[in-house]
Amino acid sequence: MSTVTATPRRAGHDSSNMATTTPQTTRVATSHIIQSSPHYQTTRRHSLYGTEDRVVIDPGSRIWKVGFSGEGKPRDVLTAGDNGSSLWTLNRASKPAEREEEDKMLEARLQSRLRAVFHDSLMTDPKSRKVILVEHPLMPLHIKDIVARILFDNLQVPSISFASSHLLALLAAGRITGLVLDCGHLESTVLPIFSSRPLFPQLRTTPLAGMRLSSHIRALLLLFGTYIPPLTSLSGAANIPAATRSMRVPDEVLAGPVIEEIKTRCCFVGETLDLADSGATRVTSPSGDDSFEHDLPPSSDPASMSESDFSRVSASEMDSNYAASSGFSVVSRSQVHPDGPRPGETHLQALAEMYKRHSTATDLHMHIDPPRDQQAGTGKGTLIIPGWIRERGAEVLFEGGDVDESSMAEVILDSLLKVPVDLRKTLASTILVVGGTPMLPGFIPRLQAELVRAINSSAPTSTRPPSRPGRPRPAPYDRYAPLRPLLPYFAILNNPSPPPPTSASFVTNAGKAPAFTPATMAWVGGSLAGALKTGGVEVARERWDEADAQPEDEDDAMEGTADTAPSSRNVLPDWTRTPLPVGAPPAPRPQAAPIIVTPQTEVGA
């Protein structure tokens, strides 16, 4: 398998190297230009004493990137959530009182973060700095509202520009047309953008993202990881072999920051898990799908849930069962549970078996702090991370088949299916992957392979004999059939190891984006937009204050919900508030239908 995949990759390497020979020369030229012409130097120096450089804030649910526009990299990157958790989630309490309380907590946290951004990270005066807020298209409106309120009221910034993160990322890649996948912490979102116009109605999203990856890795480690607690005393160190001390990973050891470190330092994405060994170039393999389903129970199966569901279930079960099994301190490598495997575990066991066969990564020993109640030992405990978890942990992101939780490839293809046909080829050839999760080594090449596989595997798998003789079997549901002709055009702009171009006549875009990291691309785009004196709809503070002051009187009249939030909302631009285009006239009402039927037939006749 590895040889099969390695050969095209190597070729891809060469091609990319060859392709870069031209830019190499141009680079020399341009760098000369840049150094010889003091244009940018002077403009930058000029803005030193002024405050025209805007502050660019890319507020994620977990990680914030902040800096000044016109600079190539953010000044500071900070974790916004408290110890590994995210600052907000996509859930909100349903009761109004609880929700109000939740919002207050969020506002207080956001306020301290934003104040820290200006006062500690950037050390600048917020009153004299315009702000570019990099906004995710699905950022909850109430959060956007709170952020704006803090920036205007508490920090008193002169203006805020809201710019779509996907569009900005595309700008950083030097393009204004493309299909952008942002794989963040809470969710992954695909947004097609044509000619710098985001096609918001074609946006697709999936909850498979960084948070899901974390919980999956955690579940796998709880089941298959090994933990060696620190020695209780230094004297007995030589006597007890590590193997006898090893135990199941205690739940409390795997705190958020530990998982985060494992994810960012140990994990990577291996090549496609192709059991039929037919490689990425396989067009239609009759047995491919079936063998795939052998190992991975299809989620359409009513008796089973999706794999990730299992992992979550087992993780929670582990919590309750851990107390019972804690006496069981010496465990074998297979980590079989004493009281027999549970349904979720058998599935994970099967998964593990398969992953192990397809992984060559080394096991890692990681030193971590022992849990609080077992602190009596000496030094740090050791967590043994199996190599296959490192390599295959991210499989959860590429595993499709669930209608509600599309895989990375499926969410891209779904979005492509929705865009107008004449844009499909353009967009398919300019896919850009941004966000924190694609920072995993191997993520983007894998996504490329998965795109190809998803299109191919949706093809009719076999020509079984018709169920009833004499009647042709109905065509099987082929989801991505309309996209199959586009297959050679699929290209990810920032693919670090682009596949070789399939046809000589076709110029591929793969790997042609500037080498900005996926995680910072949106921020860099924001900085670029700021430097170009453009970027997003700008809301000035005067306008905010006006809108804030006016409806307060109305509120008194209405004597209803006294908070000013709904009033200020109208000031903030958001694509969800844009009026719907006047399209086709609405469909005739059902009751009117019988009357219309006759003239229609007449017309038809």
Partner 1 sequence: MAPSVDYYCPCLAASPHPPPPHLPSSSDSFHPLHNLFFCEECDAVRCNRCVMVEVSGYYCPNCLFEVPSASVRAEKNRWDSAQVDITFEKPTGLAAQLQKFEDSAPEALEFDRLKEHFEPFLRASSSSSAVTPSSSHHHSNPITAAASSALARDIPGVSKYNPLSRSRSGRDKSSHKADIPDYKARMEVGAAAGMGAGGGEADLEFMRHLETVAEVATVEQRWVNSWVSSLHTDDLKPLRIPLQSKKSKRCPSCRHILIKPEQKAQSVRYKIKLVAANYLPAISVSLPHARAALEMMKRSLNRSATQSEDQSPTAAALLAGKTYSFHISFTNPLYDPIQVRLKKAQAMPAPGTEGAGEKAKRPPFQVNLPSAAFPIAAFAEAWEYEDDEDMFGLDDDDDLDGLGRLQKDQRSKTRTVGVVEKRANVTVVAGEVILTKESRGNVKFNMLVSYTYRSDDPDPAEENAMGTPSRHASSKPPEMKNFSFYTVVDLGTIAPREETIHDSDIWPTLDEAGIMATPEQPESRPQAGPLPSKRGEIGFVEGVDVSTQQEQVGEGSGTAETSSPLPERHPADTPVPTTTPQEPNPPTTPTPTTNAPPADSPSTANPPNTSAPLNPSGTTGRKLSSFLGCKRIPLFWGMRVTTLSLFAFQIAVLGATIGGWIVLI
**Closer CB to partner 1, 225 or 270, in the complex:** 270
**Closer CB to partner 1, 327 or 579, in the complex:** 579
Tell me if 546 contacts partner 1 by CB under 8 A: no
What does 388-406 look like in DSSP terms, one character per residue? HHHHHTTHHHH----SSS-
CA distances from 290 to 281, 286, 389, 453, 504 (A): 18, 8, 25, 14, 34
What is the CB neighbour count within 10 angstroms for residue 12?
21
324, 537, 596, 597: which one contacts partner 1 (CB under 8 A)?
Answer: 537
Length of the chain: 605
Strand 364-368 to strand 381-385: parallel, antiparallel, or no bridges (unpaired)?
antiparallel
Tell me if 504 contacts partner 1 by CB under 8 A: no
Tell me if 512 contacts partner 1 by CB under 8 A: yes
At 172, list the tokens: 């950083």
230, 279, 400, 511: which one contacts partner 1 (CB under 8 A)?
Answer: 511
Which residues have a Cβ under 8 Å from the Cβ of 81 and sit 6 or more positions away? 61, 62, 87
Tell me if 19 contacts partner 1 by CB under 8 A: yes
Q: Residue 33 carries which side chain, given as an amino acid letter?
A: I
Segment lying near partner 1 (by CB under 8 A), choices 85-93, 344-352, 362-370, 465-473: 362-370
Q: Residue 594 carries which side chain, given as an amino acid letter?
A: P
- Least distance from partner 1 to the Cβ atom of residue 80, Å: 13
Tell me if 432 contacts partner 1 by CB under 8 A: no
**Closer CB to partner 1, 195 or 320, in the complex:** 195
**Closer CB to partner 1, 297 or 518, in the complex:** 518
Tell me if 84 contacts partner 1 by CB under 8 A: no
What are the backbone dihedrals phi and psi of residue 162, each rounded to the nearest 5 degrees, phi first? -100, 125
Segment lying near partner 1 (by CB under 8 A), choices 173-181, 273-281, 284-292, 399-407: 173-181
**Closer CB to partner 1, 56 or 305, in the complex:** 56
**Closer CB to partner 1, 319 or 563, in the complex:** 563
387/392 Cα distance (integer angstroms): 8
SS3 for 170? helix
56, 110, 117, 122: which one contacts partner 1 (CB under 8 A)?
Answer: 122
Which residues have a Cβ under 8 Å from the Cβ of 326 and sit 6 or more positions away? 250
Which of positions 311-340 make contact with partner 1 (CB under 8 A)? none
At 512, list the tokens: 């042609």
Tell me if 435 contacts partner 1 by CB under 8 A: no
Tell me if 365 contacts partner 1 by CB under 8 A: yes
Torsional sign, CA 238, 239, 245, 246: positive
Strand partners, 193: 178, 198
Which of positions 445-464 make contact with partner 1 (CB under 8 A)? 445
Which of positions 266-305 make contact with partner 1 (CB under 8 A)? 266, 268, 270
- Of 390, 432, 401, 596, nearest to 525 by C-alpha is 432
- Least distance from partner 1 to the Cβ atom of residue 552, Å: 10
- In terms of Cβ atoms closer than 10 Å to its own Cβ (0-12, 13-18, 19+), residue 27 is exposed
**93-580-175 Cα angle (round to 5):** 90
Which of positions 21-80 make contact with partner 1 (CB under 8 A)? 23-24, 26-27, 30-31, 34-35, 40-41, 45, 48-49, 63, 71-77
CB 193, CB 179: distance < 8 Å: yes
58, 62, 80, 107: which one contacts partner 1 (CB under 8 A)?
Answer: 107
25, 42, 89, 156: which one contacts partner 1 (CB under 8 A)?
Answer: 156
Tell me if 549 contacts partner 1 by CB under 8 A: no
Rounded to the nearest 10 degrees, the angle between the axes of helix 521-531 and helix 165-172 is 80
Segment lying near partner 1 (by CB under 8 A), choices 261-269, 306-314, 346-354, 400-408: 261-269
DSSP secondary structure code for residue 466 in this structure: P
**Site string (388-427) toward partner 1, x via CB under 8 A:** --xx----------------------------xxxxxxx-
**Closer CB to partner 1, 303 or 584, in the complex:** 584
Q: Residue holding tokens 């990319």?
A: 16
